[in-house]
Amino acid sequence: MTALPSLPGRGDESVAIVSTSLPLGGTVGSEAGPSIISLVGVSAAYRGREVIHAVDVSIVPGERLAIVGPNGAGKSTLLRLIAGTIPARSGRVLLGGDPVDRLDRAAVARRVAAVPSVASLPFAMTVEEVVALGRLPHQATFRGPREADRVAVAAAIERAGIGHLVGRDARELSLGERQLVLLAVAVAQSTPILLLDEPTVHLDLRHRVEAMELLVDLNERDGTTVVAVLHDLALAAHFFPRLLIVDGGRLVADGSPAAVLTDDAIRAVFGVDPVHALRS
């Protein structure tokens, strides 16, 4: 793990962000300190349609938080804003105090790894070759993989539990196996920040729990700051000490699972009876 230059961000803004329109409680789980990720009044738009409205979030190093919310709420967009793959229409996105749009892509990729929910491959590639792509931001143009790269790739393969898939063509794997491979790519990237967009949708129950345990391990053992978009509220509540609820492009709650996943919030945001949402 490389330490980020910790310029004073907006980490002191550890104030609960609670929408006035929804009856949601919530307190912020982050303690004061320089934030590794901060979004300050960030809005974003696709083709002129604004999908994120003035969101403020501050995340300190070593936090583990989940973003939940209904489909189309803007959860993935928030991750893209943090990764700098889409521009903010207004406001600022800071990584360790640096505006993400001022860093070059390779510098961002050494700080942030992002796991997409799907990716495609046009040509045959073995699982380990795919995982090795995670080392791209650490490699010079024409140097082959170095020892550090091999170690990182082997460790990522082991931690993602895909050792048995080594040597297989990544295109012939099941959806769940591919998801684990993509997770391993991000682990191999060895960044202080890990973003995950629905990392468990295609996984069976056991792999779901194992993936969550991997995230907890990365967070607690390596100090990786983990931000995951999840649909499964039970998983989110069980494995993440801090939850953000996003609805309609706004941050409507931010705090511990117990504080934000109230019956009223689940009814208001997801439109379902809480009995169905938190079955486990």
Summarize as ranges the residues that interact with other proteins (CB under 8 A).
80, 83, 85, 104-110, 112-114, 116, 118-126, 128-130, 132-134, 136-137, 139, 141-142, 144-145, 149-150, 153-154, 157-161, 163-164, 166, 170-173, 178, 181-182, 185, 189, 210, 213-214
- Of the two residues 47 and 279, which places its CB atom closer to other proteins in the complex? 47
User: Nearest distance from residue 109's CB to other proteins, in Å?
Assistant: 3
- Of the two residues 160 and 233, which places its CB atom closer to other proteins in the complex? 160
User: Nearest distance from residue 25's CB to other proteins, in Å?
Assistant: 34
- Of the two residues 143 and 279, which places its CB atom closer to other proteins in the complex? 143
Distances in whole angstroms, Cα of residue 243 to Cα of each of 82, 159, 228, 248 = 16, 25, 10, 16
Between CA 78 and CA 192 the distance in angstroms is: 18
Q: Are 179 and 197 in contact (CB under 8 A)?
A: no
Between CA 144 and CA 62 the distance in angstroms is: 32
What's the angle, vertex CA 8, arms to CA 91 and CA 12, rounded to 5?
75
User: Nearest distance from residue 275's CB to other proteins, in Å?
Assistant: 30
- Of the two residues 185 and 268, which places its CB atom closer to other proteins in the complex? 185
Backbone angles phi, psi at 223, to 5 degrees: 75, 15
Q: Are 119 and 182 in contact (CB under 8 A)?
A: yes
User: Nearest distance from residue 28's CB to other proteins, in Å?
Assistant: 27
User: Nearest distance from residue 168's CB to other proteins, in Å?
Assistant: 12
- Of the two residues 143 and 275, which places its CB atom closer to other proteins in the complex? 143
- DSSP states of 172-190: GS-HHHHHHHHHHHHHHT-
